Amino acid sequence: MASVPPGDITTLPAVKVIFNAPFDDKHTYYMKIINSGGHRIGFAFKTTNPRRLNMDPPNGVLDPKEAINIAISCDAFDPAAEATNNDRVTVEWTNTPEGAAKQFRRVHEGEIINSGGHRIGFAFKTTNPRRLNMDPPNGVLDPKEAINIAISCDAFDPAAEATNNDRVTVEWTNTPEGAAKQFRREWFQGDGMVRRKNLPIEYNM
Neighbours of 185 (CB within 10 A): 9
Question: Do 72 and 133 lie in a common domain?
Answer: no
Residue 2 has pLDDT above 60, yes or no: no
Mean pLDDT of 82-89: 92
Question: Do 128 and 88 lie in a common domain?
Answer: no
Terminal-to-terminal C-alpha distance of the chain? 29
Whole-angstrom Cα distance, residue 51 to residue 75? 8
Mean pLDDT of 69-97: 92
Q: Give the domain extent around 117.
A: 105-200
Q: How confident is the model at residue 87 (pLDDT cuts 50, 70, 90)?
A: very high
Q: Quick: pLDDT tens for 36-67.
A: 999 999 999 999 998 899 998 888 999 999 99
Q: How confident is the model at residue 155 (pLDDT cuts 50, 70, 90)?
A: confident
Longest dimension (CA), the chain: 73
Domain contains 183: yes
Whole-angstrom Cα distance, residue 114 to residue 146? 6
Q: Is the peptide bond before 200 cis (omega within 30 degrees of 0)?
A: no
**DSSP3 helix / strand / coil % (the chain, rounded to 5):** 0, 45, 55
**Residue at 158: amino acid letter:** P
What local confidence, expressed as pLDDT, does residue 1 receive? 46
Domain contains 123: yes
Identify which has the larger pLDDT, 2 or 87. 87
CB 154 within 8 A of CB 129: no
Question: Do 76 and 134 lie in a common domain?
Answer: no
Q: 176: domain CATH number? A: 2.60.40.10
Question: Do 142 and 72 lie in a common domain?
Answer: no
Domain contains 205: no
Tally of domains in the chain: 2
